[in-house]
Structure 1
Amino acid sequence: MSCRSNLSSWQALEQSAANLKQQKLKSLFAQDDQRFDKFSCQIPGLLFDYSKQLIDEDAFSHLISLVEEVNLDAWRKKMFCGEKINFTEDRAVLHTALRNRSGSSVMVDGEDVMPAVQTELDKIKHFTEKVRSGEWTGYTSKAVKDIVAIGVGGSNLGPQMATEALKAHTDDKLNVHYVSNVDGVQLADVLNKVDPETSLFVISSKTFTTSETMTNANSAVKWFLNSAKSEAAIEKHFVAVSTNLQKTRAFGIADENVFTMWDWVGGRFSLWSAIGLPISLYLGFEVFSDILAGAYEIDEHFKNAPTSQNIPIIMALLSVWNTSFLGYKAQAILPYDQALHMLPAYLQQGEMESNGKSVAFDGRTVEYTTVPLIWGMTGINGQHAFYQYLHQGNNIVPADFIASVKPQKVVDKHHDILLSNFFAQTEAMMAGVDEQQVRKDLAEKGIAQEKVEQLIAHKIHQGNRPTTSMILDTVDAKAVGRLIALYEHKIFCQGILLEICSFDQWGVELGKGLASAIEAELTQDNVHHEHDSSTNGLIAYYKQRR
């Protein structure tokens, strides 16, 4: 299999990158008053503007050629049809089947998975209605007031991000709390807020063996039994999302209260499955269904839109362009909407766990940088934290700016003020401020010439900082579904473009295995493993002082 860097489109892009590194975004806008129209797309509910990326029509044409040369269309069809494109684990990649609204079959190993998907959705709906109506009661016949979701990674980040994004739409029937960190502080804080008689715990672990999750779950059930006194009460207060019925039974959870998932659903792509149960319980099944519907709209766009107008493909191309060709090593996610404050953390896992790799399909070490470091936070807070670095640091960090036309909550002119910052920051990062403008501004303020000369270098902004702007109509359930699905398909396209497998996570597994062995050293007597001197010293220091 040939390396991507041997493709003619890749080599053409290397030349385009060399040329554009000498260009200024400000000049590209000055030369073409149609630039926004050429490099932006609109779909229902979303404007996607990438005109402030450092590209021109020539580079964009080569990017489109790269899509064709790597045969992305064939890979896309394989994914949607249930072929096992996660070849290192021999699994299909079918989170899209979980939100399939077409009624069409999706086959895996000769079996249509859609009936099972629909059965599980019906089960989620029925259970949600029982809990939210008060029909489901605890061991003292009281209705549920608090949902405590225990999981980690993909079993936590997706549901928590979505419920945070949409909590403005809650009817306040239930509260939801998330526990992911095995640090006991988080669990203790949640348990201190809830009543065992009115709490429902959702334990999410595909294998029901995940160390962090099961440690928290076992501590939660111990806390619960201090009040309930009877293990028979567990099934009234604990449900699970898992495929391991033997383990869930041993825990005390009734089979009918276990929601399933499948090995063709990766953890970081799983909020569309029963992993999304906390979303449904907190916001109602109709809201959860709308999230699925919004994602399905993007699935259809991704399958059917021409490459030059296909937003997930363009997102992936821009990432590869910025990282592998222009040499930018990081990307910021900057939502100008408080509801989306967990999106950067969610996308960190989605992109970096998927594509943070350096081995090609055939096992070769790739010759180019793959994905960037993903980081960020809400825009206004970021402006007063790290935007100085974005504007004048000597490392250029492309950024995705995300906002909405209509706020979830209208408070005077707050949203106009928020959006004025959104528009101003992308303009400033693109245009910068040159020496001539600095001199003019300082002169108009009456600054002495000597002082002007001292300040010029400090006040110049080079600009040429690439940004993409995404404007949603509003942050509602469908918008959240659309936004997540856009980034999911971007991640898939990145993997194909870069020739790396996006759907395993062997780096994560390595750390888990080592931690398990060390855990035995910390919790059992006379257990010792071979380590380097640093690890030995650290373990000894801890054990002597705990």
Structure 2
Amino acid sequence: MMRADQQWQALQQWQPQQIKSLIDGNAVARIEQMVKYVADIRFDFTKTHMDDAALQLFANIAAQQNFSDHRRALFAGDIVNISEQRPAEHMAERGDGAPDSVYHAQMLQHRMRMLVDVIEAEAFGEIRHILHIGIGGSALGPSLMIDALARDAGRYDVAVVSNVDGAALEEVFKRFDPAHTLVAVASKSFATSETMVNAVSALQWLTDHGVEDPIGRFIAMTSEPEKALEWGIDETRVLPFSETVGGRYSLWSSIGFPVALALGWEGFSELLEGAAEMDRHFRLADGTDNICLLAAFVDQLYANRLGAQSRAIFAYDERLRLLPSYLQQLEMESNGKSVTADGDALTLKSAPVTWGGVGTDAQHAVFQLLHQGTHLVPVEFIVARYPDHGLDDTHHEILVANCIAQGAALMTGRSSENPARRYPGDRPSTTILLENVTPRSLGALIAFYEHRTFSNAVLLGINPFDQFGVQLGKELASGLTAGTAHFDAATLALLAAATQTE
């Protein structure tokens, strides 16, 4: 068998067939091959250019990249984050991984559940509002889950603030009653500058409004509990999580504390179980039966053979409106690399730009480019069979019809004597169909994207678990603020213009 680099070269010789011809040639076989069901979710890759020859090439690449060994190492708790010499043990939070790590995660979850019980028992008084402060992975996951699943829960009013712009906090301060507010500070290092500045302002807000023992209203979620103690938060209100759980994979740990409050512990447990179901599938299924690996094959076909520089995700469900933002960090921070895990220059294209929106809104904004623009953009549609509202069924019927029709229109196109009315067609899309948007289904869906991201990284030979690229700008910003770093004249002139006072 050829080496992986030779397989990638062989892929360049592969020629795509039209998508419609792949379906029309043998629709039954195509659907059987390219549609998979996991955790009651239907993953449909029929409307892509992937064919038998390409699947075989990618199977060879996966074998040459030792995909099975990398997957085994991930679940065993071996070091897979080479640059930082760490395991990546977010699955242990869901019950799968090294036994000691699973046990440790369960103990920390038990600690978190006890704190949830205490709050529900009103040991902190009558709490009606939860202000969750974090950024990146400490905010995106909780934001997504609370917005998607807790709209009608009627338990707590939860606001997630990530932006250091004071306008974000002020908006929450205007609608929250400080006498009935609990503040949750989420930071893996408990030193993230934006988060800690916001935390200080929240503490001042409670103090200014006469809250007795304002620091007693703070909960800390961190892998550095000592720093939370130094900041003044009592040990009983510190919820640790393991250093081996990366920020963008931390939703399942104590970072999910506001989700557990918003949904109740039963809902949070269902979220974990849905993710665990996808974990089991990813760990046990091989080849194209593994939906996460199959999705990665499709991703790489477009990025490294057909030249797609971006991937668009459209959730035809208002509850999932934050999903594209969540996936931007997961995919682009994980796989936006230019060197391999061995430190060599990456000769392949890394993660495409992830972007998207909500259907049907996006149809009236960006679909013009998708249908008639010159860019090839693989599109991913996400929709649920059943709605979560009490309005007339017409709403959901129109929503679902638009979602399915868009995929068909991208593929078939339309000819016309008028060039402006001509749709080229043969444009790819995938569709993910959920039964309902529930904690279980959303947990499985997010775990699918995590394992898909890991699979892409293995195929590319890169490390998806470090993120040094986010540090340089932050370091320079600190130096700029403190006046301790040297900058070019243009940068200094811009700073002067931005900070000058009358």
Deviation at 1:128, TM superposition (A): 1.2
| CA-to-aligned-CA distance 1:186-227 (integer Å, 9 cap, x gap) | 001101111111100000112211000000000110111112
Q: Is the 8 A contact 1:330 1:398 kept in 2?
A: yes
Deviation at 1:63, TM superposition (A): 1.6
* 2:94 counterpart residue number: 99
Name the SS of the counterpart of 2:343 in structure 1: coil
2:319 to 339, 355, 367: 339
Q: How does 1:78-477 map to 2 (within 5 A)?
A: 78-100=73-95, 106=98, 112-133=100-121, 135-137=122-124, 142-168=125-151, 170=153, 172-228=154-210, 232-235=213-216, 237-412=217-392, 413-434=394-415, 438=416, 456-477=418-439
* 1:504 counterpart residue number: 466
Deviation at 1:81, TM superposition (A): 0.4
How far, CA to CA, are the matches of 1:334 and 1:506 in structure 2?
Answer: 29
Deviation at 1:33, TM superposition (A): 2.5
How far, CA to CA, are the matches of 2:253 and 2:428 in structure 1?
Answer: 35
Q: Aligned letter for 1:127?
A: L
* 1:446 counterpart residue number: none
How far, CA to CA, are the matches of 1:97 and 1:106 in structure 2?
Answer: 7
| CA 3–345 in structure 1, closer or farther in 2 if over 3 Å, else same | farther
Q: Aligned letter for 2:397?
A: D
How far, CA to CA, are the matches of 1:468 and 1:252 in structure 2?
Answer: 49
1:489 aligns with 2:451: yes
* 1:444 counterpart residue number: none
| CA-to-aligned-CA distance 1:253-275 (integer Å, 9 cap, x gap) | 10110000111100000000000
1:30 aligns with 2:10: no
Q: Aligned letter for 2:329?
A: Q
Deviation at 1:168, TM superposition (A): 4.0
1:10 to 8, 11, 23: 8
State percent identity of aligned pairs. 37
* 1:530 counterpart residue number: 486
Over the residues paired in the alignment, what is the CA RMSD in angstroms? 1.6
| CA-to-aligned-CA distance 1:366-425 (integer Å, 9 cap, x gap) | 112111100001121110110000000000100111111111224212111100001100
Larger-gyration structure (1/2): 1
Q: Is the 8 A contact 1:78 1:85 kept in 2?
A: yes
Aligned residues: 499
Comparing 362-371 with 318-327, greater Cα deviation is found at: 362-371
Deviation at 1:487, TM superposition (A): 0.2
| CA 346–229 in structure 1, closer or farther in 2 if over 3 Å, else same | closer
* 2:68 counterpart residue number: 73
| CA 301–541 in structure 1, closer or farther in 2 if over 3 Å, else same | same
Q: Is the 8 A contact 2:155 2:261 kept in 1?
A: no
Scaled by the length of structure 2, the TM-score of the pair is 0.96
Unaligned runs of 5+ in 1: 440-455, 522-527
Deviation at 1:249, TM superposition (A): 2.5
Comparing 146-155 with 31-40, greater Cα deviation is found at: 31-40
* 1:543 counterpart residue number: 499
Q: Is the 8 A contact 1:206 1:243 kept in 2?
A: yes
* 1:443 counterpart residue number: none
Comparing 177-186 with 536-545, greater Cα deviation is found at: 536-545
How far, CA to CA, are the matches of 2:420 and 2:214 in structure 1?
Answer: 67
Q: Aligned letter for 2:45?
A: Y
How far, CA to CA, are the matches of 1:463 and 1:167 in structure 2?
Answer: 39
Deviation at 1:345, TM superposition (A): 0.2
How far, CA to CA, are the matches of 2:242 and 2:480 in structure 1?
Answer: 30
| CA-to-aligned-CA distance 1:299-337 (integer Å, 9 cap, x gap) | 000011121111111111111111011111000011111
Deviation at 1:169, TM superposition (A): 5.1
Q: Is the 8 A contact 2:311 2:355 kept in 1?
A: yes
Name the SS of the counterpart of 1:68 in structure 2: helix
Q: Is the 8 A contact 1:54 1:466 kept in 2?
A: yes
Q: Is the 8 A contact 2:378 2:428 kept in 1?
A: yes
Q: Aligned letter for 2:64?
A: E
| CA 465–385 in structure 1, closer or farther in 2 if over 3 Å, else same | same
Q: Is the 8 A contact 2:476 2:485 kept in 1?
A: no
Q: Aligned letter for 2:98?
A: V
How far, CA to CA, are the matches of 2:390 and 2:303 in structure 1?
Answer: 38
Q: Is the 8 A contact 1:320 1:371 kept in 2?
A: no
Q: Aligned letter for 2:410?
A: M
How far, CA to CA, are the matches of 1:463 and 1:251 in structure 2?
Answer: 58
Q: Aligned letter for 1:106?
A: A
How far, CA to CA, are the matches of 2:336 and 2:347 in structure 1?
Answer: 14
How far, CA to CA, are the matches of 1:185 and 1:3 in structure 2?
Answer: 54
How far, CA to CA, are the matches of 1:206 and 1:483 in structure 2?
Answer: 24
Deviation at 1:3, TM superposition (A): 8.2
Q: Aligned letter for 2:144?
A: M
| CA-to-aligned-CA distance 1:78-127 (integer Å, 9 cap, x gap) | 000011110101110010000016xxx615xxxx1222211111111121
Q: Aligned letter for 2:441?
A: A
Q: Is the 8 A contact 2:223 2:243 kept in 1?
A: no
Q: Is the 8 A contact 1:132 1:174 kept in 2?
A: no
1:516 aligns with 2:472: no
Scaled by the length of structure 1, the TM-score of the pair is 0.89
Deviation at 1:229, TM superposition (A): 6.2
Q: Aligned letter for 1:514?
A: L
Q: Is the 8 A contact 2:70 2:458 kept in 1?
A: yes
